[in-house]
Amino acid sequence: MATDERNFRSYYYEKVGFRGVEEKKSLEILLKDKPLDVIKLKQFCLRFPVPALHRNKVWKILLGVLSAYTDSHQWIWEQRQIQFSDLTHALDVMGHTTAATQPSEKLLLVWLLENRCLHYDYIMQLQRPDHLKKLAILETCLKLFDREVDAYWLAKGFFHFSTKFIQGHVKFKELLKMKLEIEDSDLYKHVISLGAMESLPLEYWFGQCFAGYIAETSLVRIWDKLLGGSTQIIVFLAVALILHFRHSILACKNNEEINQCVSKVTKETSEIVVNEAIELWQEHGGPIGLTITDLPKQK
């Protein structure tokens, strides 16, 4: 009953232009705590979408870009900006960046320089598979946030997740198989019979946290939950994506055709798939049945 009530209210708020009104107020209360309760912020991200107005700040806190002590935020962010400015200036002086350099490539060069792994032949270095994954994450962050400095520091945090997912690729792949078989055994058998699990771009899906595959306007809701502590949400997104193209995949006769099917993800499809992924995640143990009464109240 509680879940149904909240779903009805959320639908109503969205229709009248006030989506997540009460959640937004509750988050603002959490952001007034001194020091900030990082655990409660993570719980909020798991339970509700982070309002766009506060996403920049919440993500910075959860990624460690800013500390839990709000009085230090201004000083810390000033130092982050100075560091970013020094790095970009150094690249300009070395002639590695110009006005024609793509923003995502520029930010990756900043990261390489900061981590002391920028090679002389940096153009070839940018084309390495692991760096292409980082470029996809950077491009998504640049679309989400207005300033390059914000996009850079937030993308750096997601690089940690991308590395973690690549290292645990086999584990996540096995989990994907298990969840897909539970949801649709016929589809699972068809995919396995064609050996498609070996050809699907799982390493890129997981290694990029789906950046470049799912529209950023929808993907943020998955990344909210990722920062809340649910790494399995990425697996459920993969399951939902495969399930969404069920009829097309069942008609496929080889791996190439299946790969073509799952690559046709429009902005509209992204929203549908993300909704389905979150529903699956909830069905398999995500935070459900929570109402606004579970959130802090105005004092």
Cβ contacts of 295 within 8 Å, gap of 6 or more: 22, 23, 26, 29, 44
| pLDDT, mean over the chain | 88
Q: Which of these CATH numbers, 3.20.20.60, 2.60.40.10, 1.10.472.80, 1.25.60.10, describes 165-285?
A: 1.10.472.80
Q: What residues does 211 pair with on adjacent strands?
A: 214
pLDDT value of residue 160: 86
* pLDDT, average across residues 219-248: 95
pLDDT value of residue 208: 93
CB 188 within 8 A of CB 177: yes
Domain segments of the chain as ranges = 165-285
The Cα–Cα gap between 284 and 272 comes to 19
* pLDDT, average across residues 106-126: 92
CB 4 within 8 A of CB 288: no
Q: Does residue 169 have a pLDDT over 90?
A: no
pLDDT value of residue 246: 96
Q: Does residue 298 have a pLDDT over 50?
A: no
Give the pLDDT confidence of 37-78 residue by residue, as tens digits: 999 999 999 999 999 999 999 999 999 999 999 999 999 999
Confidence of residue 16 (pLDDT cuts 50, 70, 90): very low
Cβ contacts of 25 within 8 Å, gap of 6 or more: 298
* pLDDT, average across residues 21-39: 91
Give the pLDDT confidence of 236-261 residue by residue, as tens digits: 999 999 999 999 999 999 999 999 99
CB 153 within 8 A of CB 60: yes
* pLDDT, average across residues 145-173: 90
Cα 74 to Cα 13, 69, 70, 85, 282, distances in angstroms: 34, 10, 8, 16, 37
pLDDT value of residue 287: 63
Choice between 187 and 294, residue whose per-residue pLDDT is larger: 187
Mean pLDDT lowest for which of 104-118, 155-169, 188-202, 278-292? 278-292
Q: Does residue 109 have a pLDDT over 70?
A: yes
